[in-house]
Structure 1
Amino acid sequence: MTPPLARPAAGPGAGAGRKNLMLLIQLRWIAVVGQIVTIAFVEWALDIRLPLAPMAAALAALAALNLVSLLRLKAWPQEVSNQELFLALTFDAAALTALLYLSGGATNPFAFLYLLQVTLAAVLLAAWSTWAMVVVTVACFGGLALAYRPLALAPGADLFELHVIGMLVCFALDAALLVIFVGRVSANLREGDARLAALRQQAAEEAHIVRMGLLASGAAHELGTPLSTLAVILGDWRRIPAIASDAELIADVDAMQAEVARCKAIVTGILLAAGEARGEAPAVTTMRAFLAEIVDDRRTARAVDALVYDDRFGDDVAIVSDSALKQVIGNVIDNAVEASPRWVGVAAERRGETLAITVRDAGPGFAPDMIENLGRPYNSTKGRPGGGLGLFLVVNALRKLGGAVEARNRPEGGAEVLLTLPLAALMLEEPTADGG
């Protein structure tokens, strides 16, 4: 079976208010089912006559509230406010009050379910809302002590025994709901902590990239002058008779001029990616030509026996040539060539509105900890200072463009890196009707 691809962690999820409302919906369904079971047990097992019609109406109101809450979550993407959660809990308290009024009032052991409402409020609501819920539940409990519908007990029924049974059932229901609620809240907190840790890691990586970008930009500025000086000196050497008449020396000078020209092109690319190149407009090209240029450039720059390019992109599209992306893809190919000088395979294809580039090699593959920590700085098996920055830059550069990087070891040996990028990040924007 093909091993799973490793990818960096995902981004933040839904808001806390929406999660809390969903949690209330789930608890309310459990409470409705529990109350139906309890009413049925009291009616038929304990032979206590209850006003089933009005009780059913109260439970139907709770179910209707759940349906409205689900519709609100689906139809409105806005965050759920504290006031909405407070109103929902107040409605729950009112429904519980109606059920208790119809079944003995404050003498009903299920009156202790008010504590569950206060617990939910203390965890989910702001401080003022929690105290307001305390006032609401105390007022409801006090009202039930003054006005309620007495239970119609069967002749000879032991009221104390029935009260103990009711307290046991109430305790079991209360404990089960609290365990479910606290467990879900704890899971939400752990998920929030994980998202916060991921955001902090991303911020640290981006700060690291900024520092590296500043250093690279400064180095590019500093290298411009000595490279120009070397180009002038090499041009002068070509005109020296002793060198011009020696074919071997002329070949060496030509090789040095080619390398200096390449260094100047790299420096220009760094400045262009940093937005510091002057007088150069963005180059318009096509996706297939852009990718073919990258592969051809890697074939020229790197010593590889076989760099196989499989163009499966399909219908071509016009794009703006992005020098940073060109460096990113070239970096992945360079890493593959370094690990597998005899063969590297590059494939490009279009998956809907996404560009997918797969780079394969026949080298030793990734170490398990490298796949686990994909994209972390200095995560490398090369054992040299600064190693591992290539994939770190690749992951973060693609993330900025809305893309992703995945890596795995191939079953037949070697490694595979998959780069995915939305085509919208590179494609030319169609002109609007007003020419904008």
Structure 2
Amino acid sequence: MSVEPTAPTTRHLGHIARLVSLRWLSIGVMLAIALGAEPLFGIRVPLVPVLIVSAALGAWNLLARRATLENGRWHVLLELLIDLAAWTSFLYLTGGATNPLISLLLPLIAVGAAVLPAAQTWLLSLLAVGAYTWLWNHHLPLGLQDPAQAVHWHLAGMWVTFALSAAVVTWYVSRMTQAMRLRDQALAEAREKRLRSERILAMANLAAGAAHEMGTPLATMKLLVDGLRSGDNPAQADEDLALMSQQIGHCREILTRLAEAGGRPRPESARRTALGPWLDALINTLRTQRPDLRVSRTQADATADLIADTALDQAMRNLINNAASAAPDTPVDISTTCHGELLQVRIADRGAGMPAAVLATLNAPESRRHLPSEGLGIGLMLSISAIEQLGGSLEYTPRHGGGTIATVTLPTASP
């Protein structure tokens, strides 16, 4: 059996904030009638009581602005009941059911129907009907200096009431619709991240299993290479065998990291590091795989700190390696900048570049889930996941003069 929570969510706070804004309009209408009815239209209203009702509603509105998640789930209904009580008091002082402004109780019910559960909406409706019925026989009559104008002013009041009702309903419903669109967008983004995380987890488990299976063949190769190195070989052969042994060792290190990382929560490997030494270590590690790697560095703030882990390290090495493969004959340009609490690392190449349609696909979150699970697709998906897990983002842009720029944005580490 599900139990409804007793505390409102942030959605209820949004409703209360809109009601607070709407209530200032109600107070403005009450004050306008109290201060302008007699000098402008010759309609006498009890000024002091109306001002007291308006002031009391304004004071409550200032308190309602301080609503927090600790308020009960009935708070939205309470706010609407306060409005109903205030308007009932105002209408009692200004003609009761004969005042055309009594129709302003309808927008109050419409707002309640949009934000309240069914039971609370019916309660509000019944109380509003009861207030209307009570005002039919209990009210202070309006004092008209010219009774012959009563019908004219009543029709004018009906027009004003219709205009106010239309404005209130349009404003409130449009604000609610906008809030719902933002909520749906946030839900869609959360769903997208969950699907991507599930796909990454499946690949991580597959990688961990593959790492274990490849361990034995690599160990056999290492034994064979070491055996060959122990024989009487030409100098060139010894150099080649040494390189093979080094690369096999590097492969075994990669497989070990894969096996350890498979299924393990990433925060365990997170660490605080300075931007400059971190990039130096990434480039040095990558040079063991491709000795011909050339890098041009431009660094604005090498002392800035960030939070990195093994997955982010691998993602950055993949991006640098992709840039080097795009233009092997030119250096990879890496520049870093720091903007407040954000670090940006730009990895630029002088390759052939990417078509605009491909760039749009790579930069659109809704399209990334459909990248192919091989080649650039899987590598890019893993890189994006690693960067976003640490609160960052990845964006591809064309480079002036040819090539592509991969911009990685990461938060700086808290002091």
TM-score category (smaller protein):
0.7 to 0.9
> Equivalent residues in 2 for 1:3-82 (5 A)?
15-39=10-34, 42-70=37-65, 72-73=66-67, 76=68, 78=69, 81-82=72-73
Q: Deviations over 1:101-155 (max 9, x none)?
A: 1110111111111111111111111222212212321222222122110010123
1:378, 1:386 within 8 Å by CA — same for their partners in 2?
A: no
> Equivalent residues in 2 for 1:411-422 (5 A)?
411-422=400-411
1:82, 1:126 within 8 Å by CA — same for their partners in 2?
A: no
For residues 108 and 379 of structure 1, what CA distance do their matches in structure 2 show?
A: 65
Alpha-carbon distance, 1:49 to partner: 1.2
Q: Work out whether 1:376 is the aligned partner of 2:368.
A: yes
* Secondary structure of the structure 1 residue equivalent to 2:144: coil
**TM-score with structure 1 length normalisation?**
0.82
1:295, 1:309 within 8 Å by CA — same for their partners in 2?
A: no
Name which of 259, 283, 294 aligns with 2:247.
259
Distance 1:145 1:320, change over 3 A: closer
2:205, 2:263 within 8 Å by CA — same for their partners in 1?
A: no
1:105, 1:148 within 8 Å by CA — same for their partners in 2?
A: yes
1:104 matched to which residue of 2? 95
Distance 1:403 1:38, change over 3 A: same
> AA paired with 1:105?
G
For residues 140 and 352 of structure 2, what CA distance do their matches in structure 1 show?
A: 79
Alpha-carbon distance, 1:406 to partner: 3.6
Alpha-carbon distance, 1:314 to partner: 3.9
1:339, 1:364 within 8 Å by CA — same for their partners in 2?
A: yes
For residues 134 and 283 of structure 1, what CA distance do their matches in structure 2 show?
A: 58
Name which of 130, 142, 153 aligns with 1:139.
130
Q: Work out whether 1:298 is the aligned partner of 2:286.
A: yes
Q: Work out whether 1:396 is the aligned partner of 2:385.
A: yes
For residues 269 and 360 of structure 2, what CA distance do their matches in structure 1 show?
A: 42
For residues 183 and 345 of structure 1, what CA distance do their matches in structure 2 show?
A: 48
> AA paired with 1:225?
T
Q: Work out whether 1:338 is the aligned partner of 2:335.
A: no
Q: Work out whether 1:116 is the aligned partner of 2:111.
A: no
Distance 1:186 1:394, change over 3 A: same
Alpha-carbon distance, 1:197 to partner: 1.1
Distance 1:415 1:386, change over 3 A: closer
Identical columns (%): 32
For residues 201 and 269 of structure 2, what CA distance do their matches in structure 1 show?
A: 24
> AA paired with 1:194?
Q
Q: Deviations over 1:71-126 (max 9, x none)?
A: x15xx4x2764311111111111110111011101111111111111111111112
Distance 1:407 1:321, change over 3 A: closer
1:163 matched to which residue of 2? 154
For residues 413 and 24 of structure 1, what CA distance do their matches in structure 2 show?
A: 55
Q: Work out whether 1:326 is the aligned partner of 2:317.
A: no
Q: Work out whether 1:308 is the aligned partner of 2:296.
A: yes
Distance 1:38 1:393, change over 3 A: farther
CA RMSD of aligned residues (A): 3.0
2:225, 2:241 within 8 Å by CA — same for their partners in 1?
A: yes
For residues 147 and 115 of structure 1, what CA distance do their matches in structure 2 show?
A: 20
1:314, 1:350 within 8 Å by CA — same for their partners in 2?
A: no
Alpha-carbon distance, 1:391 to partner: 2.6
**TM-score with structure 2 length normalisation?**
0.85
For residues 80 and 237 of structure 1, what CA distance do their matches in structure 2 show?
A: 77
Distance 1:55 1:410, change over 3 A: farther
For residues 278 and 369 of structure 2, what CA distance do their matches in structure 1 show?
A: 28
Q: Deviations over 1:322-369 (max 9, x none)?
A: 322211211121122222331211234555555443322223444342
For residues 282 and 38 of structure 1, what CA distance do their matches in structure 2 show?
A: 64
Distance 1:33 1:361, change over 3 A: farther
1:337, 1:343 within 8 Å by CA — same for their partners in 2?
A: yes
Distance 1:142 1:205, change over 3 A: same
Q: Which runs of 5+ in 1 are unaligned?
A: 1-13, 428-436
2:229, 2:238 within 8 Å by CA — same for their partners in 1?
A: yes
2:347, 2:405 within 8 Å by CA — same for their partners in 1?
A: yes
* Secondary structure of the structure 2 residue equivalent to 1:157: helix
1:211 matched to which residue of 2? 202
1:304, 1:337 within 8 Å by CA — same for their partners in 2?
A: no
